A and B are shown apart, each in its own frame.
Chain A
Amino acid sequence: MRVAVPAVQGAFAEQIAYFKAAGADAFEVRNLRDWENARADALVLPGGESTVQRKLIRSTGLFEPLEEAIARGMPVFATCAGAILLARKIEGEEPFFGALDIEIRRNGYGRQNESFSTSCTVWGIDDFPATFIRAPTISAIGKDVEVVARCNGMPTGVKCARIIALAWHPELSRDLRLGRKFLEMAAG
């Protein structure tokens, strides 16, 4: 499984290490040339600052091919800023890819003082270590979207078709279950 990770800004190295540990061939995509050579089977959108990532994904020319790949149904795993980039609606901002029917609020919990770690219930299993860093909140969910992760009752992760998007960072833990689950879904 070849997993492309756009490496414009943020925690892309962590995602590559996470998916390598989960058994995939994960690699950086920094520009159009990298993407054209990638022959990617799946896409991972890492955490970071979404304002920076949206600017750089555009200026590197990666926006159009990534948008097209997502529209064609390429499996996508997105965390934090990545989930923001996918959302159909972003409070107070224009959407970016707009491919996932959720509404999201940036920094929904507040500033770094409000960042926290806890455990999340994912697919009914309730011991996933979850770190929220200036994380977004999911404020509305479309009818075809399934809530797959909850923390303290709040929806924090969703699945729609072959997209999984989380407000938190499984890649900052050593728990590979979610990565493996995504790879299984992508292979299926």
Chain B
Amino acid sequence: MSENRQEINRNLAQMLKGGVIMDVTTPEQAKIAEAAGAAAVMALERIPADIRAAGGVSRMSDPAMIKGIQDAVSIPVMAKCRIGHIAEARVLEAIGIDYIDESEVLSPADDLYHIDKNKFRAPFVCGARDLGEALRRIGEGAAMIRTKGEPGTGDVVQAVRHLRKMQSEIRRIAALREDEIFEAAKQLAAPLDLVKYVHDNGKLPVVNFAAGGVATPADAALMMELGAEGVFVGSGIFKSGDPAKRAAAIVRATADWQDAKLVAELSANLGAAMVGINATEIQLIMEERGK
């Protein structure tokens, strides 16, 4: 992939900033998400909460189902492939997907190697729990980063932890003396040129969204407060009582997250939130997938 292509792919994520990317499983849900103000949709067969409940191996979605969603909306459509599954990624690229999520929500296909995303024309977004992981994924060609969170739980604790950790590591790297960067790159197990970029610019070279457990307008506002540039909402919308209303409220809260009075209004009378499950009560820890 040319440097130019990488830049163009990073640019698309810049256009999504301040927006909400919503998981959808049908063209109807995609239309509800678009009408509510989603900046993009993630097409998948089952939302993470159902993947978690169903157990078993979880794979890339049926391309016909993804195409149905591409035809239903005018906003960008993303889809997930398994970690390390080069062939699934190629299939998604072949059907013209706008962003590929190499995702820990699906069962990993490779327990050692991620996809060499530099070899693709399509952009990739990848999950990360800390700065080292984010920079490793960017080194492999990811054009956008999101926190991993713990998908399908409705519990934001991991997303908060990952976001805080990443931001505090970025601040630490930015404060280093120049001759300390080499040791920092070693400790982070991250490419030196990317650690230098973080040192010089005080931020990641790509856009960073929050993901995992966001279920309410206040959750979205919390993510923005902690430095996310936008949010993914997975199970939180279509596992709730009134998806259209909740989706629109989360969109508005993400855009104007500093206005607490507004977030209060947006949080009122939204109906039942997804019930969720505390991240400490679960058996399968998806965030551990891929390092």
Contacts and interface: CB of A to CB of B under 8 A. Distances in A.
B17 A11 contact: yes
30 contacts: A8-B255, A9-B17, A9-B19, A10-B15, A11-B17, A13-B17, A30-B258, A48-B15, A48-B17, A48-B18, A49-B15, A49-B39, A49-B40, A49-B75, A51-B74, A52-B19, A52-B75, A55-B248, A60-B255, A107-B74, A111-B98, A112-B12, A112-B122, A113-B122, A115-B9, A115-B12, A116-B8, A117-B8, A134-B76, A172-B14
A51 B75 contact: yes
B122 A117 contact: no
Interface in A73-124: 80-81, 106-107, 110-113, 115-117
A131 interface: yes
A112 B99 contact: yes
Interface in B244-264: 248, 251-252, 255-256, 258-259
A8 B259 CA distance: 13
A52 B98 contact: no
Given A14-B14, A48-B39, A52-B39, A134 B98 contact: yes
B12 A31 contact: no
B11 interface: yes
Interface string B17-56: 1110000000000000010011110000000000000000
A56 B123 contact: no
Contact of B17 (A10, A60, A117, A131): A10
Given A9-B39, A49-B39, A111 B17 contact: no
A130 to B, nearest CB: 11
Nearest to B10: A172
A81 B19 CA distance: 14
Given A55-B37, A111-B96, A117-B7, A134 B256 contact: no
Interface of A: 7-14, 30-31, 47-49, 51-52, 55-56, 59-60, 80-81, 106-107, 110-113, 115-117, 131, 133-134, 169, 172
A171 B17 CA distance: 15
Given A10-B18, A30-B256, A111-B70, 11 more contacts: A14-B14, A47-B15, A48-B19, A49-B76, A51-B34, A51-B37, A55-B37, A56-B252, A112-B122, A115-B12, A116-B8
Given A12-B18, A47-B15, A106 B256 contact: no
Nearest to A54: B37
Q: Which 4 A-B pairs have the closest CB atoms?
A: A112-B98, A9-B18, A55-B37, A49-B39
B255 A56 contact: yes
B270 interface: no
Given A31-B259, A107-B74, A49 B19 contact: yes
Interface centre among B15, B19, B98, B256 (most CB of A within 10 A): B15
B121 interface: yes
A56 B15 contact: no
Nearest to A171: B14
A31 B99 contact: no
Contacts of A111: 70, 76, 96-98
B12 A52 contact: no
Contact of B121 (A9, A31, A60, A113): A113
B74 A52 contact: no
B283 interface: no
Contacts of A47: 14-15
B269 interface: no
B18 A59 contact: no
Contacts of B122: 112-113
Nearest to B254: A9
Nearest to A116: B8
Interface string B66-83: 000010001110000000
B4 interface: yes
Given A8-B255, A31-B256, A112-B9, A52 B38 contact: yes
B157 interface: no
A169 B98 contact: no
A81 B256 CA distance: 19
B16 interface: yes
